[in-house]
A and B are shown apart, each in its own frame.
Chain A
Amino acid sequence: MKYFINSFIAISLLFTSCQKEKITIGTGVSESFYVVNNGASMRVLVEGNTSSSEFILCVHGGPGTSAYFYNTDYIKHNLGDKYALVFWDERNAGASQGNSNGKNLTLIQMTDDLKKVIQVLKYRYGQSSEIFLLGYSFGGLLTSSFMTTDDNQIMVDGWIFADGSQNYPLNDSLTRQMLLTYGQQQIALNKNQAKWKEIVSWCNLHTGNFSFDESSQLEDYAEAAETYFDEVTKVDYLKLFGSDAIKDNWPLTSILVNYLYSSAAEINKDIAKVEFSSLLYKVSVPVLILFGQYDFVCPKGLGDDLFNKISTTDKKIVISPISGHDIMLQDEVLFCNEINEFVRIHRLIPI
């Protein structure tokens, strides 16, 4: 009995030792923590230079993908050397865990999650830490929701919007228009005729007020379309992520089951009609907008809409001529250079 009790105490100590608070201020940092909110424990990975007190908080796409995919060696070496990179796995995504919490997978809940992640970041690394939000794809919608809700934007020092969407109905219209325009050009140039003819004829039949199924079809065509252009950088995702998966301890099956669940969840239908264009006038913090010239999934017209509607005069839009929907992977040089410059200009804490 005594042996059993001792073993139990030893095992308990072993588990809780993994949860001991570890906060590192320095360079080359790599540490994780979890934020619990309404049925979800969301993993947050902090990498890079925490002594800078500048934190670039990556808000990933999906819903249901993972922040792990942003953590490439190039980004680590070219942004993480100067600033701290924060990779947050949203609820029901990546390494985030929970029980029966599907009903909480809503945009409003995720907006609240983001607020709490920032609160914990400031608690850990100091209230004077500067936060720069980086929203990609669906993360664009989520950060738009965050920035236009209450006085949330006072928590951040800048907003980076990369291949994102703040308005899904507008997104669908722009995608359709872009597919039609490029499709007709490519057919005239005799390039990938069969594929483009199918896309163009579908777009001619579906003109607007898209149903959820139509939006999904548009997205499928948009994802395929950028691969038909030689100008777009081709990324070998398997090679890129293959080595990272082992090195960075990716929980592969968790990433997979969370993706499968979230990509089919009700939230996708809910957000199909959501727009924040009408609320963007509230945004007064500096904004950097990055888009790929060949991004059919979130066309650069969304960047123009954002640029024109935010109140701030401190704003910049940059278009990458060689990228589609994954600017951080397809044009990593431009991506890192622009973010470096943006944070350098807007940092409040002198070097």
Chain B
Amino acid sequence: MIFRKISGGLSLFFFTITCFSQTENMVRRDTVSSDLQTSYNSSLIYPGIRVGIEFPVYFVCVKKNFDSEVPKIISKGRFISMNAGWYHQTNFHDNLYFTAEWTMRRTKENGFFTEFSSGFGCSRTFLGATTYETDNTGGVDIIKSAGYKYAMIIVGGGLGYDFSKKKEIPLSIFYKFEMTGMFPYNSTLYFRPAMELGIIYKPINFIPFLIKTRVKTK
């Protein structure tokens, strides 16, 4: 009974908000520089690095007034990033990989942001020790650069801080948890969870793109 009353009240509240709030949309075109990204990533104790370029696709800038004197501004950026990475796992393999990712980043006025990314790619592993092959006569040969090529999928999410929002420092730092999948790995899917700590550098005019920024005022 109480649940029905509460849910009824909430429905009325959202209906009122939807009907009476005014939303203004404005679209402008800006030239925006691409960002450079580098990070250290680690799965437990195994080290890795990643470098990449993220190209801006579009931005949505949401201004929320809510009758307050200082409106809240949230920036939602969408990027496509191209990355190259490597990790080392002792006695197992080294992996060199390339990925293309779609990143959604939501940055608050104060500079804190959250992001989610997903993508795909390819990788080449190098086995972590000398690799031998024998022939039918019992002869043994060493295989140079032994390893495998895999298709990759990658998803991750994390948070960070954009220094350019409050001060004019063109840097962001971020922490991300990522899950990488490689296949076909022994006819199944190999996955590697990793934690990533990195920085994003925002040069002033590095591979600029003319992109749409939609400004929404609520």
* Chain A residues in the interface with B (C-beta under 8 A): 11-12, 14-16, 18-22, 31-37, 40-41, 43, 45, 91-92, 95-102, 116, 119-120, 123, 246, 249, 251-254, 257-258, 260-261
Contacts and interface: CB of A to CB of B under 8 A. Distances in A.
Contact of B145 (A19, A21, A119): A19
A97 B126 contact: no
Contacts of B166: none
- Of B45, B126, B149, most buried by chain A (CB within 10 Å of CB) is B126
Interface in B113-149: 125-134, 138, 140, 142-146, 148-149
Given A16-B126, A31-B129, A249 B150 contact: no
B189 interface: yes
B188 A257 contact: yes
B147 to A, nearest CB: 8
Contacts of B44: 246, 252
A34 B94 contact: no
A274 B192 CA distance: 36
A334 to B, nearest CB: 31
Interface of B is mostly: strand
A37 B191 CA distance: 24
17 contacts: A11-B86, A22-B130, A32-B91, A33-B129, A35-B133, A97-B125, A97-B185, A99-B185, A102-B187, A120-B132, A123-B132, A123-B140, A246-B44, A254-B92, A257-B188, A261-B187, A261-B188
Contacts of B186: 40, 91-92, 96-99, 101-102, 257-258, 261
Contacts of B89: 249, 251
- Of B126, B149, B185, most buried by chain A (CB within 10 Å of CB) is B185
B187 A45 contact: no
Given A16-B145, A19-B146, A97-B93, A34 B127 contact: yes
Contact of A19 (B126, B184, B188, B189): B126
A45 B129 CA distance: 10
A33 B188 contact: no
A22 B131 CA distance: 11
Nearest to A115: B134
Interface of B: 44-45, 86, 88-94, 96, 125-134, 138, 140, 142-146, 148-150, 184-193
Nearest to B148: A99
A97 B184 CA distance: 10
A253 B192 contact: yes
A251 B94 contact: no
A100 B188 CA distance: 8
Contacts of B188: 102, 257-258, 260-261
A119 B146 contact: no
B98 to A, nearest CB: 13
Contacts of B145: 12, 15-16, 19
B190 A19 contact: no
A12 B140 CA distance: 24
Nearest to B124: A15
Contacts of A116: 134
B131 A34 contact: yes
A15 B134 contact: no
Contacts of B148: 41, 97-99
Given A19-B145, A34-B132, A253-B191, 9 more contacts: A22-B129, A36-B133, A41-B148, A92-B187, A120-B132, A254-B92, A254-B185, A257-B186, A257-B188
A42 to B, nearest CB: 10
Contact of B184 (A12, A20, A99): A99
B192 A21 contact: no
A43 B193 CA distance: 22
Nearest to A12: B145
A36 B126 contact: no
B144 A34 contact: no
Contact of B132 (A31, A35, A95, A257): A35
Contacts of B93: 97
A101 B138 CA distance: 23
Contacts of B133: 35-37
- Of A14, A18, A37, A246, most buried by chain B (CB within 10 Å of CB) is A18
B88 to A, nearest CB: 8
B182 to A, nearest CB: 10
Nearest to B92: A251
Contacts of A22: 129-130
B130 A19 contact: yes
A41 B131 contact: yes
Nearest to B184: A100
B177 to A, nearest CB: 15
Contact of A18 (B94, B134, B143, B187): B94
Nearest to A18: B128
Nearest to B145: A16
B130 A20 contact: yes
B190 A254 contact: yes
A75 to B, nearest CB: 19
